[in-house]
Amino acid sequence: MLDSAVHGAKPPPRVVAHWTARARHGFANIPVRLLLANLLVSLLPSVSFSRVRTAIYRFAGLQIGDNTMIFGRIEFTGPGAIQDRLHIGSHVVINEHLFVDLNGIVTIGDWVSIGHHVTLITSEHDVGPAHCRAGKLRPKDVTIENGAWIAACSTILPGVTIGHSSVVAAGSLVSGSIPPNRVVGGVPARALRSLPESP
């Protein structure tokens, strides 16, 4: 049987309706304000204008506390109203470039420092059948508690809580939750030492 599309025949109305609905759904998931914010932020020189950058992200609908400074562009992924799933506290320092997967909720507490090129991932897949091993998507929230420091090029995996006042060494892959006042590092990250609870 010849392919009707090749010979210029119109597709059946149900096919047109299907693809029209998919296109509408796709456009509905575009976070227009965040895209506009990232366009504006990309025009600013790196490391400078941190408070202007923070104000732009607030205008785009992100929840950001007082005296927080954002030194570079934040890259977001996730469906729907992703701005509702990112909570950034007060006195936070976010270096350039932060990648945030917002299939789940990401909570960043007060006085947190995040180094450059940090990745926060909130979703994983079940292992599926042989024809497609990446099965059902499962969101798992990520929490970074007050006073923590996530050093450069670290990756935080789904479901992880970084305890208050803990440190994740540069280049670490954190796959399990970290208790408060710990230094962890490595791939995968492991405890390196404890920190005093007060100065």
Q: At how many degrees (to 10) do helices 32-42 and 50-59 cross?
A: 160
At 120, which amino acid appears?
A: L
C-alpha–C-alpha distance, residues 188 and 155, integer Å: 10
Given the DSSP bridges, would you call strands 149-150 and 113-114 parallel, antiparallel or unpaired? parallel
Cis before 31? omega within 30: no
Q: Tell me whether residue 125 is one of the annotated catalytic residues.
A: yes
Spatial contact of 99 and 75, defined as CB atoms under 8 Å apart: yes
The HSE-up count of residue 169 (CA atoms within 13 Å, CB side) is 12
Task: Tell the residue number behind the tokens 């400078």, with chain if given.
Answer: 48
C-alpha–C-alpha distance, residues 82 and 30, integer Å: 10
- Cα distances (angstroms) measured from residue 175 to each of 83, 98, 113, 129: 24, 18, 19, 24
| Options 87, 125, 131, 164, the catalytic residue | 125
C-alpha–C-alpha distance, residues 86 and 125, integer Å: 21
Q: Which residues are designated catalytic?
A: 125
